[in-house]
Amino acid sequence: MSDSSVAKEPGPQGEESPVVNSPDEKKKREYKEFGHEEEKATHANVDMSLIELKAEDLYDKEKVDLETIVIEDVFKLLQCDENGLVDEEALRRIELFGPNKLEQEEQNAFLQFLGFMWNPLSWVMEGAALVAIVLSNGSGQPPDWEDFIGIVLLLFVNSAIGFYEERNAGNAVKALMDSLAPKAKVKRNGSWLEIESAGLVPGDMISFKIGDIVPADCRLTEAINVSIDQAALTGESLPQSKKLGDQCFSGSTCKQGEAEGVVISTGANTFFGRAASLVGQDDDTTGHLQKILAQIGSFCLVSIGIFVLAEIFVLYAGFRYSYRRGLNNILVLLIGGIPIAMPTVLSVTLAVGAQQLAKHKAIVTRITAIEELAGVTILCSDKTGTLTTNKLTIDRATVRTYGPFSVDDIMLLAAYASRTENQDAIDSAVVQALGDASRARAGIKLLDFKPFNPVDKRTEITYREESSGKLKRVTKGMTGMIIELCTRNKTEELENKLEADVEEFATRGLRALAVAYEEIDGQDPEGEGNGFELIGLLAIFDPPRDDTKQTIDDALALGVKVKMVTGDQLAIAKETGRRLGLGDHMYPAKVLKDGPAPGSKHLSLDEMILDADGFAGVFPEHKYEIVKRLQGLGHLCAMTGDGANDAPALSRANVGIAVEGATDAARGAADIVLTEPGLSTIVHAIRGSRVIFQRMRNYSIYACAVTIRIVVCFAILAFAYKFDFPPFMVLIIALLNDGTIMTLSVDRVLPSMTPDSWDLAEIFAYAVAYGIYLTASTVALVSIIMGTTFFHDKFGVTFSGNPSPSSSNDYQLHMIVYLQVAIISQALIFVTRSHGFFFMERPSFALLGAFCIAQLISSIIAAYADFGFTQIAPISGGWIGIVWVWNLVWFAPLDWIKFAMKATVIKKLRQRHEAAQAEQAITGVPITRTQSRVASIHESLYSNRVSFIRRAARKVGFGSKVTMKPEELQRFSSIQAQRTGATLARNPSRTAAA
């Protein structure tokens, strides 16, 4: 066996390497330097004491070649050295350069508050206020100040509640995001310490190792086997090797080795920061929920508009009302019919929902994703770290032995051939399998260790056994490489058995790790051994997380199909799928290009994707294609991802989910960022989003029903009895309603067991049925009072001593109608919030308490209120009791109306919807409708309510993605160093001056 076959480069621990021949040295050197073009380093051809260069000097290669400026000149430019900065200088530079983070524009709190009054529904109310104060000044009467103040108060109450909840939710989400703030290892006052990367300044010495994110733009002053993933900046899929003097940029990830560097630029002055400021920010706040809001708002506005026009014609043209009297009737419809609280209630519901999801360690970076997550039908999940632990483990039960050694002996020898410090994942798994890591070096003296490298694909240790004094050598690594080394027991039979074992491992999704052993004659650690002998085969696998199987079962129970999308091999994907109950109908990613094989059961690629349990060997572009095709089949799709190159798929998905440990680029593209590993957090989020969806749906039915109830009821009373209800009392009804309905955001509801979707036809059908029924309850009461003396005869109640009202506009009759409308309208929420009988689903204490308080206030107003400025008068306790009993009698059948609607109208609507879906599945083309620009503008008017989460996300640097050609990066870093040096030259430190 030749030396060249076992020669290795020493690892970073600095052990002495064995002598190797010159051809092999050349080969190693070529490998290490691959990808670098050698250029001779140059010095800046300028007076370093002046430094201040003009812009044109920065690109003048006669003075300074920016791409090859030596590191010594960088230190001079930045007025620092390899011992780092002292605290006083760091503080001075923080003031000079600012913190190392992208500063985001803070939204003015007052403007955020006023934003709640900027939507079409609020405009109608604001218009009503102007009508009350400006147009009501007629018929010899003063402006309607009371109604004006009441409307403004109603607007402000809605805005105040919404503002308060939004700020709370925004702060809660930001606090969770701040917990993700990256750390940096920096040398200050000559000592290494860990600080938040926001505290870095130009001139700081920083250190990073494998797995770390580079915290700021820097030049490397020390580089040990360093490889950097710059995909977030350059789109390169492969990490780039870095050497002394090379530049590394903020946001890139160290994939291998350890490095130290000097910071040349921070914050907005980094390459990432400058490019992000050019790219700009996209709010992405006009989404599906805004379309729903716009359509519900339009339904209410059209309903009101129809009856307002009807009143104008009937009251003015037919009844010849005076200007002011007719205007008061119109104000009743405008004030009472507009669901002014709708944007606020839905916004507060989402904001509270975002806080609740944050408790499950899920950060919502696009708030409308909560609503979309409720409707997700397919979840495409990563395997590693999400379905599995992302922690390699040795499966002791499947260890194969090929010699006299026991399983424990093989495990111990494999641990000898593993690093105990700076371990890679396999070494860590092998050592941890011993139980006690100290056993990996107990009883032996290490003489030579050759770490794993990508060429030889194995590790090797030469050691002296202390008990016998013998020299021995153990190697472990890729099966093919190890068996080639073996000479002692390598027979045809052994190779066949090994091949069968490896194949069996592969079919079970296990990786094979071979172990071989030899003894060395004499005491020369570099001497020839007696020949390697294959002694064992270890099975390495990434075990499923403990909670994953149950979580997948929960997802399936919720109607969400989970598909595994992994970059791992097909066999591993299938075995993992079998263990988790996902199924093993897995396909390699190449089918996305080639399509189904001829004669297979799938007629098309779309059918194959829909049927598949998962895909293996997937690259980011495959993820994008999978999401796109699933969406084309009419599914709402959620996709998990962790890398920068997952960003396109995360952006394309209806809900992009960045898993725990994801890169900033993935987080920026995602709608939800998880801060705990595992799939269970996603299922918690799905369940939580459905609870939130149910609250929004319940309120939407209620709001539309009350609109129909108010406008139809008071229009009919005006047409039939010339009934002039005081606008101010409608304001009180609206105010008490809004206060109660706000508690829906924390109502106790059950999530649906199937994906949710907005079916506005259902919502409007329920609303019309409830609204007309409640209208009938009021019209019937007024008709009995006006046409009979039934209540006087049975209960002895009177109107100022008379058995019947003096006219249709008797002040006490106004109060009776007020109390009846206020009670039963608000009680409707208990029917809309339940799927069965209202008493079978307990509401939250907040909702029940708010309802009771509101009805107590309404009853007190009915008993004692005698406002001189409006047309009402107190009523007796007998009338209050009659109204309560009347409402209870009319309330009882509301559940039966709901059931009757489900059995008739709703059933037909759902059948029609299912037929449309079936037709869509056959054609494979989603049924969409081209949207007009006017409709888009209309929807955008509701979008101001969902931007606060995005602002919170930006404060910690989420949501910024940039690209740049690799060759531009190096030039850019030199420009940064020059500019930073110029700033420091203009602002010399006191110590430097001294």
So which residues are the catalytic ones?
A: 382
Residue 867 φ then ψ, to 5°: -70, 125
Strand partners, 319: none
Contact 120, 938 (CB under 8 A): yes
Contact 298, 263 (CB under 8 A): no
Nearest residue to 888 (alpha-carbon basis) of 827, 961, 969: 827
Residues in the chain, overall count: 994
* Alpha helices by DSSP H, 844-965: 845-864, 877-891, 894-903, 905-923, 933-940, 948-954
Helices (runs of H) and strands (runs of E) counted in the chain: 37, 22
3-state secondary structure of 907: helix
The encoded tokens of residue 394 equal 């040795």
3-state secondary structure of 351: helix
DSSP state at residue 589? T
Nearest residue to 629 (alpha-carbon basis) of 579, 592, 656, 663: 592
Measured distance CA(538)–CA(401) in Å, rounded:
9
The β-bridge relationship of strands 655-658 and 637-641 is parallel
Contact 472, 516 (CB under 8 A): no
Contact 699, 693 (CB under 8 A): no
The encoded tokens of residue 265 equal 């630029």
The β-bridge relationship of strands 614-616 and 240-242 is unpaired
Nearest residue to 576 (alpha-carbon basis) of 311, 329, 383: 383
Residue 934: count other Cβ atoms within 10 Å of its Cβ: 8
Measured distance CA(641)–CA(763) in Å, rounded:
36
Measured distance CA(55)–CA(604) in Å, rounded:
59
Contacts of 899 (CB under 8 A, 6+ apart): none
Per DSSP, the residues of 606-619 read: HHHHHH-SEEES--
Measured distance CA(433)–CA(427) in Å, rounded:
10
The amino acid sitting at 961 is K
Measured distance CA(718)–CA(262) in Å, rounded:
80
Contact 774, 705 (CB under 8 A): yes
C-alpha to C-alpha distances, 840 to 651, 744, 896, nearest whole angstrom: 41, 17, 14
Measured distance CA(299)–CA(316) in Å, rounded:
26
Angle at alpha carbon of residue 815, lines to 813 and 818, rounded to 5°: 110
Contact 170, 949 (CB under 8 A): yes
